[in-house]
Chain A
Amino acid sequence: MIRTFSESEFLFIVASARWTLLLTVLALLLGGALGFVVALVRTSRLAPLRMLAAGWIGMIQGIPVLMLLFLSYYGLSLAGVDMPPIVAASVSMALYASAYLGEIWRGSIQSVAWQQWEASAALAMSRAQQYRYVILPQAVRIAVAPTVGFVVQLVKNTSIVSIIGVVELARAGNLVNNATFAPFKVFGTVAATYFVICWPISLLARRLEGRLHARRPG
């Protein structure tokens, strides 16, 4: 039986955006924490550690997110670990985010002038103190705009987890479309919902970028 695309279908799609948002937030929190460690290790003084972090970034960036998803969902369940789809989805999105955020933040740390390292070292600061009081506060300003930009990518890329059955925004659209055969309305609604989430974030990124550049000439 074919249903019509009515208010309840519309609301079902829009409401499923909460899973998209939840996934984004989880991926950001977990991936951000891991990515921060990756960035620190990537800028370590010890070459083997740097290579380890570079290897991690290279590996995750070189694998489609889809494969991370399949590995953490099907792979682990074959190995006897039964993981609910939402957990597998969060884990793989977090791994994906960790590599990209790690790389963005590595670049931000390294774009702080090297003289700042020298000046703080000459004041007898330890490596940890240099990071905490001198380098990271400056790196954060540099990192804000590209990080917010990445969040937009992250929101849209969560659609990939629909493949393992998480009913987030994209999957909800699919389900409703199968029942209504009204693809234009359905996916129009889906796209509009993504847009409503992403557009303000993009605006924020642009504003932050403009403001930080204006504040600190040269």
Chain B
Amino acid sequence: MPVVQVEAVRKSFGAVEVLKGIDLTVERGEVIAIIGRSGSGKSTLLRCINGLEVIQAGRIEVSGHRLDASGKGLRELRKDVGIVFQSYNLFPHLRVGENIMLAPRVVLRVGRAEARQRAEEALAEVGLGERFEAWPDNLSGGQQQRVAIARSLAMKPKVMLFDEVTSALDPELTGEVLATMERLAGHGMTMLLVTHEMAFARRVATQTVFMHQGKVWELGPSEQLFGAPQTPELRQFLGSGLK
């Protein structure tokens, strides 16, 4: 059974239709990169998958939780879906460790000792094992982003969504965050990422989706999609200074 199933999803903001019937399936362990111009709907699609945006039509199913226009079952679904944002969004009033322990404790109701263990494991996974007691404000952008990834990991999600997570970072910090993501992929995490890092998508993603004008324009194994784009739109997109 696929981890994520998106069927005929439509989403409008006012009169503007941003997603015009999207179909997408993510199997367990797959890493799918979503690329496309700004405004092509790629971030919106990601945000729809964990219900941060409400869809108007179609169906989204994540590991057995179904999401439709009614918005029911949202919290159950979110327990299985981690998301990392461009702007980290750590909780500034909590130390790094507390940031990570909070949701397992209050949402999943795990005990303090287990929450702490989860947090330590997650921090180790992102290579920040020694920053448990640090304040988010005292970390670099790249470190904050890795803590944000750890915060999601501690919920033990079935799939992780990454929404342009390196767009606010300089090249060096981008590299450290991408390395973390690559390690996660290597450990078998199912991942869906919106990104402008074409080289990363090509190397790490099993499949790449090219979105254009609110539709899945082209989809295929990354090597094939980047190596031999089929549509003029993708050729133009890849050709426009991104090589």
Q: Which of A118, A123, A141 contacts B103 (CB 8 A)?
A: A123
Is A115 at the interface (CB under 8 A from chain B)? yes
Asked if A134 contacts B79 (CB within 8 A), the reply is: no
Asked if A118 contacts B106 (CB within 8 A), the reply is: no
Asked if B79 contacts A118 (CB within 8 A), the reply is: no
Q: Chain B residue with minimal CB distance to A125?
A: B107
Asked if B75 contacts A126 (CB within 8 A), the reply is: yes
Q: A133-B102, A133-B106, A216-B137 are in contact. Are A124 and B155 (CB under 8 A)?
A: yes
Q: Chain A residue with minimal CB distance to B161?
A: A122
Using a CB–CB cutoff of 8 Å, the interface residues on chain B facing chain A are 50, 52, 75-76, 78-79, 81-83, 85, 87, 89-93, 102-103, 106-107, 137, 151-152, 155
Q: Which of B93, B107, B137 contacts A124 (CB 8 A)?
A: B107
Asked if A119 contacts B85 (CB within 8 A), the reply is: yes
Q: Which of B52, B137, B151, B155 contacts A118 (CB 8 A)?
A: B52
Contacts of A124 in B (CB 8 A): 75-76, 78-79, 103, 107, 155
Is A48 at the interface (CB under 8 A from chain B)? no
Can you name 14 A-B residue pairings with CB atoms under 8 Å? A115-B87, A116-B89, A118-B52, A119-B89, A122-B81, A123-B151, A124-B79, A124-B107, A125-B103, A125-B107, A133-B102, A134-B91, A138-B91, A138-B92
Chain B's interface: helix, strand, loop or mixed, by majority?
mixed
Contacts of A87 in B (CB 8 A): none
Complex: how many Å from CA A64 to CA B223? 73
Q: Which of B79, B91, B93 contacts A119 (CB 8 A)?
A: B91
Q: Which of A113, A119, A123 contacts B107 (CB 8 A)?
A: A123
Contacts of A126 in B (CB 8 A): 75
Given contact pairs A120-B103, A133-B106, a sample of 12 additional A-B residue pairs in the complex whose CB atoms are under 8 Å apart:
A118-B89, A119-B89, A119-B90, A122-B78, A122-B82, A123-B103, A123-B107, A124-B155, A125-B103, A138-B91, A141-B93, A216-B137
Is A178 at the interface (CB under 8 A from chain B)? no
Could you tell me the distance in whole angstroms from the C-beta of A140 to the nearest C-beta in chain B? 9
